[in-house]
Amino acid sequence: MEQCASVEREVDKVLQKFLTYGQHCEQSLEELLHYVGQLRAELASAALQGTPLSATLSLVMSQCCRKIKDTVQKLASDHKDIHSSVSRVGKAIDRNFDSEICGVVSDAVWDSREKQQQILQTAIVEHLYQQGMLSVAEELCQESTLNVDLDFKQPFLELNRILEALHEQDLGPALEWAVSHRQRLLELNSSLEFKLHRLHFIRLLAGGPEKQLEALSYARHFQPFARLHQREIQVMMGSLVYLRLGLEKSPYCHLLDNSHWAEICETFTRDACSLLGLSVESPLSVSFASGCVALPVLMNIKAVIEQRQCTGVWSHKDELPIEIELGMKCWYHSVFACPILRQQTSDSNPPIKLICGHVISRDALNKLINGGKLKCPYCPMEQNPADGKRIIF
């Protein structure tokens, strides 16, 4: 991140120079226009009176021309200084970032260049759909001749339609969606439908005493959620006591906090994505963030490999030469590393549970077999290797 910060400092300097130059340029031109306007008025007055051009006026005209020339030259010189600052940004990028990063990953990772391009285009289109940039995604599909099935687009279209309504504080589409998917949401232990009803109830409370009867009538929607959300329902019912006095100055003023709208958008996005089989964050953004963390490490490893002339160390398509810690945010599924071989298990080398309860990888099991028998490396129990069972985390 230090490299990014270094480039950002250079960009900030350029932006500051652009701002200062713009203000100075505008001020200089306004002064020059005012000066020329005054001179023009004097020349027009002299022409109306029919008097010949005086020596004083002729001198003033010469000074005006000189002032215009000096101002233009000064502005042009200042503009050239900005060019040098812009070029320094390019030099900072070259100095802090490797211009050739494609060599970090072997071409053998991809089946073909066409396949690589198709995967990248699909990831970009999915990201645009997920961000709600539907028109941009459609344009990219047309220009890249990428054929996107309607079934692929439909979940994103529905998701963005409901989110746009929520941003406009319209709960109707979200409530309709939650009711139609009630059973599946319950299977996910989701409280989305309750939160939507609660927010609608709070909107009625915000309407004042005139909405009290409507709020009481709407409270019937809380009945299916009474067992799981009893405390929250009691709080909302208690707020009715202060409705005539104003909730803003009551102990229930927190109910009117606008943060509830941001919370409901996050809850809907998370639960809807889970229900529709989508990731909350687009694969492209996750891959980009992970790449920003992993790329500097991989570039250093590549330099070391080339320096020591051991290019055969990293030749596999499905693994990296070292483990790179991306943080808890990028942990999407459980992993198991064999305590014997110190390697992460995979489909071709799955974890195996022994009779004694200890778990090792299949490759480790095969290496520990001696005379058709296996002795657990952690306890003295001997057993038949065939009794080991594969574990799926």
Q: What digits encode the pLDDT tens for the residues 45-66?
A: 777 777 776 777 778 788 888 8
- Residues 267 and 177 reside in one and the same domain: yes
Does position 316 have pLDDT exceeding 60, yes or no? no
Q: 118-127, 293-302, 320-329 — which is least confidently predicted?
A: 320-329
pLDDT of residue 117: 81
Both 257 and 181 in one domain: the answer is: yes
Going by pLDDT thresholds of 50, 70 and 90, the confidence category of residue 43 is confident
Does 242 reside within a domain?
yes
CATH number for position 380: 3.30.40.10
Q: Is residue 192 part of a domain?
A: yes
> Does residue 270 sit in the same domain as residue 379?
no
Q: What is the pLDDT of residue 66?
A: 87
Q: Are residues 89 and 155 in the same domain?
A: no
Would you state the pLDDT for residue 351? 92
pLDDT of residue 151: 78
From residue 215, give the alpha-carbon distance in Å to each of 18, 36, 196, 226. Answer: 56, 70, 14, 17
Q: Is residue 137 assigned to a domain?
A: no
* Rounded mean pLDDT, 129-140: 84
269 plus 360 within the same structural domain: no
Q: Are residues 157 and 261 in the same domain?
A: yes
Answer yes or no: do 266 and 379 share one domain: no
Domain boundary among 261, 276, 291: 276
Average pLDDT score over residue span 104-123: 74
- As a whole number, mean pLDDT of residues 355-380 equals 87
For range 304-326, the mean pLDDT: 68
Is it the case that residue 302 has pLDDT exceeding 80?
no
Claim to verify: residue 166 and residue 252 sit in the same structural domain: yes
Cβ neighbours, 10 Å, residue 104? 17
Residue ending a domain, among 231, 248, 276, is 276
Range name among 122-136, 265-279, 298-312 with the lowest pLDDT average = 298-312
Domain enclosing residue 63, as ranges: 1-94
> Is 294 within a domain?
no
pLDDT at 71 over 80: yes
Q: 175 and 255 share a domain?
A: yes
Tally of CA atoms within 13 A in the half-sphere of 119 that contains its CB: 10
Over range 198-218, report the average pLDDT: 86
Look at residue 124 and tell me if it is in a domain: no
Pull the structure tokens for residue 146.
């990428």
Q: How many structural domains does the chain have?
A: 3
State the average pLDDT for the chain: 82
Residue 304 included in any domain: no
Q: How many percent of the chain have pLDDT more than 90? A: 3
Residue 329 belongs to some domain of the structure = no
Residues 264 and 373 in one domain: no
- Asked whether residue 114 is domain-assigned, the answer is no
Please check the confidence at residue 105 and state whether its pLDDT lies above 80.
no
Q: Tell whether 90 and 152 lie within a shared domain.
A: no
Structure-block tokens of residue 314 = 């990293």
Domain limit, last residue, from 53, 75, 94? 94
